Structure 1
Amino acid sequence: MKDISELIKNRRSVFPPQYNNIPVSDKLVNELLENANWAPTHRLTEPWRFKVLRGEAKDRLGKFLSDTYTDITPDIDFSPFKHKKIINNCKSANVIIAICMQRDLKERVPEWEEVASTAMAVQNMWLTCAAHDVGCYWSSPKLIDYMGEFFDFEEGERCLGLFYVGNYDKQEPLESKREPIANKIQWLD
């Protein structure tokens, strides 16, 4: 296992067009989800929910998303490139995990805390992918607002995005940069 600081600093978005055809194992998918389950959660609401799509389910999702894009996009804004990209992303990913949040029906905690908790669950999945040199990417297009037409959600449940997962050919390290943390801190005594 990699050093946690190194793992965090080297975590990257790896996009579906970069994936190869080598399958992601069920064992790894289960590890991703198990690690997600250990995210911090206020009052133990455990708001994260996941829907795992493989095979034909990915194709059905791609068709749904591309059809929905066509239906909601005015002709003047319609992009054939984007339409094709939606379908290709679903085909290129070995696994797609719909990132969902189940709002605590008693509303014991503010909603933002449950969104944050779900995001921390996704970060756990992302770091697990990075530790295994598996590519992943969290996408949250406007189309997620329509996911209730694709999935049967429980009361209070909604989709926060799609987590694309796939193996990729490692070449040079993927570059990223950050402004120095010192520029973002104010120390008070």
Structure 2
Amino acid sequence: MDIDQIIRNRRSIFPRQYNGKPVSKTIIKKILENANWAPTHRLTQPWRFKVMQGEAKNRLGTFLSNTYTDITSDDDFSPFKYEKILNNCKSSSVIIAICMQRDPKERIPEWEEVAATAMAVQNMWLTCSAHEIGCYWSSPKLIEYMGDFFDFEEGERCLGFFYLGNYDKSGEEVSKRDAIDSKVEWME
């Protein structure tokens, strides 16, 4: 596949679509290595990743579902959402916590480090696309509580979860975009 195809084939493939076949450690390492080559202003390289497999995924699911229960009023509580949180963790082969380490010297604006981390995730997503691995970036409100689950360094925080899993290609992974001409202004 050439780069144009890889970019155009990139999709959110959700945990409910995963088929249970594990993603190999070789591919996981390649995904993370490619993330490491994202652009980064002043080489702060702010991306940090916490890779969870096996029992660690189950612990994450329990923590997230319990936290959801704790922070949600009885009126707003959704048994469906509670189960979805658990099932997303169980259905995934791998969950990568996407974290950002703020430059201690704050040499650049924080938004640039968030953007660099997002570009690292885009590299992960494109690598998954090239290897036909399903993936999905979720940034639920629950990420605000991840300091109770992970031992973060000073200035580190969670920006979301990157769920990965093999899936059976159905041809339904279709997306569309409005024409680029509607989004570009040419100036001379």
Q: Please indicate the TM-score interval, normalised by the length of the shorter structure.
A: over 0.9
**Which deviates the most, 167-176 or 96-105?**
167-176
After TM superposition, give the deviation of residue 13 of structure 1 in Å.
Answer: 0.3
Matched, 1:133 2:116: no
* 4+ residue runs over 6 A deviation: none
After TM superposition, give the deviation of residue 15 of structure 1 in Å.
Answer: 0.2
Q: Deviations over 1:94-116 (max 9, x none)?
A: 00000000000100011000000
Q: Which amino acid aligns with 1:132?
A: H
After TM superposition, give the deviation of residue 173 of structure 1 in Å.
Answer: 4.5
Structure 1 counterpart of 2:69: 70
Q: Deviations over 1:61-104 (max 9, x none)?
A: 00000000000011111100000000000000000000000000
Structure 2 counterpart of 1:101: 100
**Alpha-carbon distance in 2 for matches of 1:171, 1:162:** 24
**Alpha-carbon distance in 2 for matches of 1:155, 1:21:** 36
Aligned counterparts, 1:15-94, within 5 A: 15-94=14-93
Structure 2 counterpart of 1:145: 144
Matched, 1:155 2:154: yes
Structure 2 counterpart of 1:175: 174
TM-score by length of 1: 0.98
TM-score by length of 2: 0.99
After TM superposition, give the deviation of residue 10 of structure 1 in Å.
Answer: 1.1
Structure 2 counterpart of 1:121: 120
Q: Deviations over 1:38-80 (max 9, x none)?
A: 0000000000000000000000000000000000011111100
Give unmatched runs, 5+ long, in structure 2: none
After TM superposition, give the deviation of residue 175 of structure 1 in Å.
Answer: 1.0
Q: Which amino acid aligns with 2:161?
A: L
Q: Deviations over 1:115-141 (max 9, x none)?
A: 000000000000000000010000000
**Alpha-carbon distance in 2 for matches of 1:49, 1:116:** 13
**Alpha-carbon distance in 2 for matches of 1:94, 1:6:** 25
Q: Deviations over 1:125-181 (max 9, x none)?
A: 000000000100000000000000000000000000000000001121511111111
Q: Which amino acid aligns with 1:32?
A: I
**Alpha-carbon distance in 1 for matches of 2:154, 2:20:** 37
Identity %, equivalent residues = 72
What secondary structure does 2:37 align onto?
coil
**Alpha-carbon distance in 1 for matches of 2:78, 2:185:** 44
What secondary structure does 2:42 align onto?
helix
Compute the RMSD of aligned alpha carbons.
0.6
Structure 2 counterpart of 1:188: 187
**Taking structure 1 as reference, are residues 173 and 6 closer, same or farther at Cα in structure 2, changes over 3 Å only?**
farther
What secondary structure does 1:178 align onto?
coil
